[in-house]
Amino acid sequence: MLQEFKAFIARGNAMDMAVGIIIGAAFTAIVTSLVDDLVNPLIGIFVGGLDFSGISFGVGEAQFMIGNFINAVIKFLIIAFVVFLLVRFVNNLASAARRPRPPAPEAPKGPTTEELLVEIRDALRAR
């Protein structure tokens, strides 16, 4: 069982997945900062200083943080858009690689060996 686990980890798929998760976590931190530090204040300028994270309402003991949900939706949309652009870029690269290349132009055709021999024979006869 240990050998199977080593083989699984050594395969490219598991390592690729691990790298993707790590990069995804780092990217999430960047998007969180983008939304919290840039997008929300920019939106706040247009809606009169409204901070989404402060929007909430309570029912009895329960507190519903609608503003945090709105921030999460904004973060999701940004991440989804970036992933869309990445997939589109990769698909364009893949389709460009699959496109047939135009054939190379043919070299200009010269006289055949037989034609050259005929010319040489005629030149020798003419002497």
Partner residues linked to 29 by β-bridges? none
3-state helix, strand, coil in the chain (%, to 5): 75, 5, 20
Residue that has been written with the tokens 């900062």 in this structure: 33
Q: Which CATH superfamily is domain 2-126 in?
A: Large-conductance mechanosensitive channel, MscL; domain 1 (1.10.1200.120)
pTM (global) more than 0.85: no
> What tokens were used for 117?
């021999």
Tens of pLDDT along the chain (127 residues) come to 878 777 776 766 777 777 788 888 888 888 778 877 887 777 777 767 666 777 778 888 888 888 888 878 887 887 788 778 878 888 888 887 777 777 878 877 888 888 889 999 999 998 8
Is the distance from CB of 55 to CB of 67 less than 8 angstroms?
yes
